[in-house]
Amino acid sequence: MTKSLITLDKDGHIAWLTINRPERKNALNIDMWRAIPPLVRRAEQDPEIRILILRSASDSVFCAGADISEFDLLIRDTRARDLNRRAIRAACKALEDFPGPTIAMIQGPCVGGGCILALCCDLRFGDEKSRYGITPAKLGLVYGLSDTRRLLDQVGPAAARDILFSARIIDARRAQALGLVNDIFAPDSLEREVRAYAGRLMQNSSHSLREIKKTIRRIEEGIREDDEQSEKIFIDAFDGADHREGVDAFLNKRKPDY
């Protein structure tokens, strides 16, 4: 049986999307990029899933980037190059558009396409041994606007220029200082901390989390003032089941059951 290089597992209300090619340091080939959208859609269509976590099957490497063995084909074959481009764009968009919160749990090197995948998630938590880099300048390549935008949204233009111009690898503490990752933990406690954080999110209203995510996305896209859509979301929430449950729980001094 052929091993699946990207897998999806369900654990309660959490979907674990796992990069599973440790013998190649999780280098991403076109088949792996293509596997991501249908797996994300499966998680999205499961009403029990509230959070998606992207992780590696290995505790020593998150993802070393693109599969170098495909580069010769991409140089020679423009059709293969275009198919690869489309596969990458579709995978990133699927992960970025997942309606609930998404978390990248990063162990070890997180480079190139692996770093872009992590940036498609809402939050990134790494271990103290994690390292980060986006290195197309070392290979004479240029990443697309959407990939560059994801980096700039997290770290700002000055740091984005530094990361892309220098193509250097930065350590976990520097990545945290730049805003590339949200927090860093000891390697043996990373998964426990990520699970605890996911549990904290699941104590809150899934409706609120999804609408907050949409609102943040609209602000990132340049919408700066309330409009008909945002006002409707604000008003309609008062009629929602989650709001009624939250108020009742607050008044009766109990935890809400969302």
CA dihedral 137, 139, 143, 149 (to 10 degrees): -30
Choosing among 1.10.375.10, 3.30.565.10, 1.10.12.10, 1.10.10.10, the CATH entry for 206-251 is: 1.10.12.10
Q: Are 57 and 22 in contact (CB under 8 A)?
A: yes
Residues comprising the chain, all counted:
258
Residues 6+ apart with CB under 8 A from 134: 111, 112, 115, 116, 143, 151, 163, 164, 167
Q: What is the DSSP letter of 138?
A: G
E-assigned strand segments in the chain: 6-11, 14-19, 51-56, 102-106, 109-111, 123-127, 131-133, 170-171, 183-185
Q: What tokens does 218 get?
A: 């609209």
pLDDT at 3: 83
126 in helix, strand or coil?
A: strand
CATH class of 6-202: alpha beta
CA separation, residue 137 to residues 89, 163, 166, 212 (Å): 20, 10, 8, 35
pLDDT at 1: 47
Cross-strand pairs, 82: none
Q: What tokens does 4 get?
A: 């699946």
- Can you give the pLDDT of all 258 residues of the chain as single tens digits? 468 999 999 999 999 999 999 999 999 999 999 999 999 999 999 999 999 999 999 999 999 999 989 988 899 999 999 999 999 999 999 999 999 999 999 999 999 999 999 999 999 999 999 999 999 999 999 999 999 999 999 999 999 999 999 999 999 999 999 999 999 999 999 999 999 999 999 999 999 999 999 999 999 999 999 999 999 999 999 999 999 999 999 999 999 999
* C-alpha angle 213-240-217 in degrees, rounded to nearest 5: 10
Residue boundaries of the structural domains of the chain: 6-202, 206-251
Residues 6+ apart with CB under 8 A from 45: none
Q: What is the pTM of this model?
A: 0.95
Helix (H) or strand (E) holding 214: helix 206-220
